[in-house]
């Protein structure tokens, strides 16, 4: 039986379990040049909130009744394709379901090498690692002695971006939503941390960045973006990576009040989509692999057990319950 979670309703405010529907259907047949895969791990990402909305951005929105879109790790359990064998572990966009039959070339499925860590492939070497690498280095352009602030620093992308900034000789301040997360960030080598739920963010930013912020790597938007805009150094760079604070708002999304400080400080604010760097992913993977191998970059995986946990785990991601990359182990 093929278990599936479908989009049942467009979210209004917080994503709710009622925005999903569950069904069980027959396992699909396998045609020539196809493989049948069984999902082992499903990756959850903030961008999934955008897929649920009725608007096109860099990915087409889902229709009501569609299987929820998601990347994952799967095992080939039947193959009618010359390049894949039963038992192969593969990475691809298989959705929130147990089984999928597909042509691996058409959906760009990648087979794992024997010694490869699959969970690393969907975290530090996956979209989150690529986002941190290109966002910080290409848009942020860090250099030794600069001050870098990272919001959502205990998330999958934020913790990688913060560690790369440290490797470049920067002073790094990370914002996170609990004392435990802040403790972990200090273990990673960050210079200062701010618990945005219990501390005065503005006061702490003023204390930790007396000469201003050279690079702000933004994963959240909202009030924290505004507070950082008010404290920019001359020629600062603001990297817009994500806006998780806006995902759960109802009604018009407020704009930043302090945006004109970009003019006063001759600063630059720029957004990006990581798929635009696809032709350079090997460059990033090779460099990240070296940093991980020698212990200079660490990553964390937040594993939630059970296929039935998928909606709750995604909701938990938006509420900040994760430390690092959130994945669901389907058969646990």
Identify the structural domains of the chain with CATH numbers, from first to last.
Answer: 2-123+300-329 (3.90.180.10), 127-275 (3.40.50.720)
Token output for 28: 């699909």
Predicted local distance difference test score (pLDDT) of residue 332? 65
8 Å CB contact between 176 and 197: no
Q: How far apart are CA 88 and CA 73, in angstroms?
A: 10
Q: How far apart are CA 88 and CA 32, in angstroms?
A: 18
pLDDT (tens place) for every residue of the chain, 332 residues total: 999 999 999 998 889 999 999 999 999 999 999 999 999 999 999 889 888 987 766 678 899 999 999 999 999 999 999 999 999 999 999 999 999 999 988 888 999 887 889 899 999 999 999 999 999 999 999 999 999 999 999 999 999 999 999 999 999 999 999 999 999 999 999 999 999 999 999 999 999 999 999 999 999 999 999 999 999 999 999 999 988 877 766 767 778 999 999 999 999 999 999 999 999 999 999 999 999 999 999 999 999 999 999 999 999 999 999 999 999 999 86
Q: How far apart are CA 208 and CA 202, in angstroms?
A: 10
- Buried-exposed string 133-159: b where 16+ CB fall within 10 A, e elsewhere: bbbbbebbebeeebbbbbbbbbbbbbb
Predicted local distance difference test score (pLDDT) of residue 326? 97
For the chain, the first-to-last Cα distance in angstroms comes to 17
One-character DSSP codes across 239-270: EE---GGGTT--SSPPPPTTTTHHHHTT-EEE
Token output for 86: 């039963």
Predicted local distance difference test score (pLDDT) of residue 307? 98
Predicted local distance difference test score (pLDDT) of residue 43? 97
How open is the CA angle 311-316-319, to the nearest 5 degrees?
Answer: 135
E-only strand ranges, 192-243: 192-195, 213-218, 232-240
8 Å CB contact between 124 and 288: yes
């Amino acid at each position: 039986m093929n278990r599936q979670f479908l989009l049942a309703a467009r979210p209004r405010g917080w994503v709710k379990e009622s925005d999903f529907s569950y069904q069980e259907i027959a396992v699909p047949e396998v045609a020539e040049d196809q493989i049948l895969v069984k999902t082992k791990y499903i990756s959850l990402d903030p961008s999934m909130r955008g897929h649920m909305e009725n608007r096109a951005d860099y990915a087409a929105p889902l229709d009501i009744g569609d299987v929820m879109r998601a990347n994952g790790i799967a095992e080939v359990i039947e193959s009618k394709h010359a390049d894949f064998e039963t038992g192969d572990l593969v990475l691809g966009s298989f959705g929130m379901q147990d089984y999928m039959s597909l042509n691996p070339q058409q959906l760009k499925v990648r087979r794992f090498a024997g010694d490869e860590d699959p969970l690393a492939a969907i975290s530090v070497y996956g979209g989150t690692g690529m986002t941190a690498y290109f966002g910080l280095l290409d848009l942020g352009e860090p250099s030794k002695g600069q001050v870098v602030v990272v919001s959502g620093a205990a998330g999958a992308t934020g913790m990688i971006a913060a560690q790369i900034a440290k490797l470049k000789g920067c002073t790094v301040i990370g914002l996170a939503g609990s004392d435990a997360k802040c403790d972990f960030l200090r273990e990673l080598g960050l210079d200062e941390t701010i618990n945005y739920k219990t501390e005065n963010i503005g006061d702490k930013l003023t204390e930790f960045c007396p000469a201003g912020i050279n690079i702000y790597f933004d994963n959240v938007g909202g009030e924290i973006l505004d507070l950082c805009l008010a404290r920019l150094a001359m020629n600062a760079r603001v990297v817009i990576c994500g806006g998780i604070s806006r995902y759960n708002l109802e009604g018009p999304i407020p704009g930043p009040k302090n945006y004109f400080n970009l003019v006063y400080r001759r600063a630059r604010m720029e957004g990006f989509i990581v798929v635009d760097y696809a032709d350079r992913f090997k460059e990033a993977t090779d460099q990240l692999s070296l940093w991980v191998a020698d212990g200079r970059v660490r990553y964390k995986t937040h594993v939630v057990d059970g296929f039935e946990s998928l909606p709750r785990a995604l909701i938990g991601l938006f509420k900040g319950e994760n430390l690092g990359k959130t994945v669901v182990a389907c058969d646990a």
